[in-house]
Amino acid sequence: MLRVIVRRLLQLVVTLMALSALIFIWLRNLPGGPVEALLGERATPERRALLTKALGYDQPILVQYGKFMQRVLTGDFGNSIRTGDPVTEVISRAFPATIELALAAMIIAVGLGVPLGYLAARWRGRALDNLTIAGTLLGISIPIFFLGYLLKDVFTQNIHWFPPSGRLTTGLDNTNVTGFFVLDGLLTREFDASADALWHLILPAVTLATIPLAVIVRITRASVLDVLNEDYVRTAEAKGLRHRTIRGRHILRNALLPVVTTIGLQTGALLSGAVLTEKVYNWGGLGTLITDSISGGRDYPVLQAIILLAALVFVVVNLLVDLSYAFIDPRVRVR
């Protein structure tokens, strides 16, 4: 077990290294490259040369990469070109916001998706099932930023149930502990701030949850259908077990194994979706940071760090999912 974990961790490191190298090299070999992107096409050669030297881009690529990695390992990703702040600082300000949003979306997707998928499978071919399938197909076919605007229009303009954007009502002061505003409010006993943050969180989270929800519903449904046909469910029925026991211990326990995997894979969809959702709701997280880093002159150090961070999150989550299998599926344990 331990050996597997160590091996997986090593591979994780190798992947991230490879990814960073690819991005690094790509960045510096693009037509125009970062210097042109920063200065624009009509910059004078002198200014270009100056900036190239200032950024260290005149050195051999391997040397540059070596220096970059050296700094990265000490936690230094350089400074933002746009604001001049250290990249780590910029990112650590935005990171909790995105995680809070993504977690809320995942809670919605799992909390709603699993029961819906189960019910659809139990009532296969009935109205509920057909409706659910239609809903999931629509869910994966709708551009989620459009859905975001739609929800925003309905729930903040027509009926004023939710605030249109931001993470907190302006003027409301909260104490920042973890950066998760809902949690912070609870920790500092500023319950009004917590409630306000939650109120702001709902619409963006629902928007972001759309695709993972659709996927989880479908996986759960398909998986439950598979399990319903299994002999051990028939055995459980033959034992005269209560419906509750059969559903929980025999059907869901088995049917949820593929769903756990899906949750890991949906991390990717969440991170992608967060970029769009955050822009719609002006949510100050990584997604906004990406958008700003692109539109306000390409802020390469920030972009580079965010991409690596996103890959790290995705890889780590999926590693955790795989490892969790050892605890939820006894057949994996022996291997």
Partner 1 sequence: MSDPTTQAGTPAPRSGDDKPRPGMSERSIGLLGDRKKARLDELAQASASDRGGISLVRDAARRLRRNPVAIVGATIVALFVLMAIFAPLIAPHDPVQRFDELTKNLTVDTIPGSSSEFPFGSDPLGRDFLSRMIYGARQTLFVGVLATLIGLALGVLIGAIAGAFGGWVDVVLMRLTDVMLALPSLLLAITLVALASRSSQWTVIFAVAIVSVPIFARLLRGSMLAQRESDHVLAARALGVKERNIVLRHMLPNSLTAVIVQATLTFAVAILDAAALSFLGLGDPDINRAEWGLMLGVDGQRYFEVRPELAYYPALAIIVVALGFTLLGEAMREAIDPKNRR
Partner 2 sequence: MSLLDVRDLSVVFQRRGERPFTAVDKVSFTVEPGQTVGLVGESGCGKSVTSLAIMGLLPKRGNKVTGEVLFEGTDLLRLRPDDLRDRRGREISMIFQDPLSSLNPVIPIGIQVAEVLERHQGRDRKQALRESRDLLDAVGIPDPQRRLSEYPHQISGGMRQRALIAIALACKPRLLIADEPTTALDVTIQAQILTLLKQLVDETGTALVMITHDLGVVAGLCDTVNVLYGGKVVERAPRHELFAHARHPYTHGLLNSVPRLDSPRGERLHAIRGSVADNIPWAEGCAFAPRCDNVVDACLEGPPPLEPTAGGGDLRCNNPVSEEVAVR
Shortest reach from residue 237's CB to partner 1, in Å: 19
Q: How many CA atoms lie within 13 A of 264 on its CB side?
A: 17
- Quick check: 6 binds partner 2 (CB under 8 A)? no
Indicate the DSSP class of residue 31: S
Closer residue to partner 1 in complex, CB, 50/307: 307
Closer residue to partner 2 in complex, CB, 152/221: 221
Q: How far apart are CA 175 and CA 194, in angstroms?
A: 10
Name which of residues 183 to 222 contact partner 1 (CB under 8 A). 211, 214-215, 218-219, 222
Shortest reach from residue 150's CB to partner 1, in Å: 8
Do 280 and 204 contact (CB within 8 A), yes or no? yes
Q: Out of partner 1, partner 2, none, which partner does residue 240 contact, by CB within 5 to 8 A per kind?
A: partner 2
The one among 48, 59, 78, 149 contacting partner 1 by CB under 8 A = 149
- Quick check: 119 binds partner 2 (CB under 8 A)? no
Can you read off the two tokens belonging to residue 225?
A: 């259908």
Counting residues that bind partner 2 (by CB under 8 A) gives 24
Can you read off the two tokens belonging to residue 256?
A: 């949820």
The one among 140, 183, 186, 233 contacting partner 1 by CB under 8 A = 140
- Quick check: 234 binds partner 2 (CB under 8 A)? yes
The CA–CA distances, whole Å, from 257 to 3, 59, 220 equal 23, 51, 9
Closer residue to partner 2 in complex, CB, 89/329: 329
Do 28 and 64 contact (CB within 8 A), yes or no? yes
At residue 73, the 3 state secondary structure works out as helix
Shortest reach from residue 120's CB to partner 2, in Å: 15
Shortest reach from residue 198's CB to partner 1, in Å: 26
At residue 86, the 3 state secondary structure works out as strand
DSSP 197-236: HHHHHHHHHHHHHHHHHHHHHHHHHHHHHHHHTSHHHHHH
Q: How far apart are CA 125 and CA 115, in angstroms?
A: 17
At residue 272, the 3 state secondary structure works out as helix
Name which of residues 236 to 295 contact partner 1 (CB under 8 A). 254, 257-258, 261-262, 264-273, 275-276, 279, 290-291, 293-295
Q: How far apart are CA 240 and CA 233, in angstroms?
A: 11
**DSSP-assigned beta bridge partners for residue 86:** 79
Name which of residues 201 to 230 contact partner 2 (CB under 8 A). 230
The one among 19, 50, 168, 186 contacting partner 1 by CB under 8 A = 19
Stretch that binds partner 1, among 65-73, 88-96, 190-198, 320-328 (CB under 8 A): 320-328
- The residue ranges that bind partner 2 (CB under 8 A) are 230-232, 234-243, 245, 249-250, 253-254, 257, 328-331, 334
